[in-house]
Homo-oligomer: A and B are copies of this chain.
């Protein structure tokens, strides 16, 4: 049976590589372990990317997220780790990962990291009134 946690992110061909466009995932069910205490940590992940040749396949993304369930991970490091894995799997034009962690000790922490392909220029946004 294939529904095991897995770090193997699968992709499919970008159906519109001629365009810069945005894919956004909101993932409220991220959990890992605190490396200091071993206790569970929880976060919502918000991912935005502009695909180049490959898009992230949704089911493999779910299994990838699941794979952190038993792993110790600091807030800052795990956000970069996830960004790194997703960039390695899809080589996107642009990707942003935002980890919105649950409150600990009265403090809410959010970490946001971005990757931008060398030479890629973001399109000037069209702001309509």
Contacts and interface: CB of A to CB of B under 8 A. Distances in A.
Contacts of A66: 39-40
Interface in A107-125: 107-114, 116, 122, 124-125
Contacts of A65: 106-107
Query: How many of these chains are in the complex?
Result: 10
B106 A19 contact: no
B129 A22 contact: yes
Given A111-B21, A126-B114, A126-B122, A27 B106 contact: yes
Contact of A31 (B3, B40, B107): B40
A121 to B, nearest CB: 10
Interface of A: 1, 3-4, 14-16, 19, 21-29, 31, 37-40, 42, 48, 50, 55, 58-59, 61-62, 65-66, 69, 74, 76-77, 79-80, 94, 96, 98, 102-114, 116, 122, 124-129
Q: Which 3 A-B pairs have the closest CB atoms?
A: A26-B108, A24-B110, A21-B113
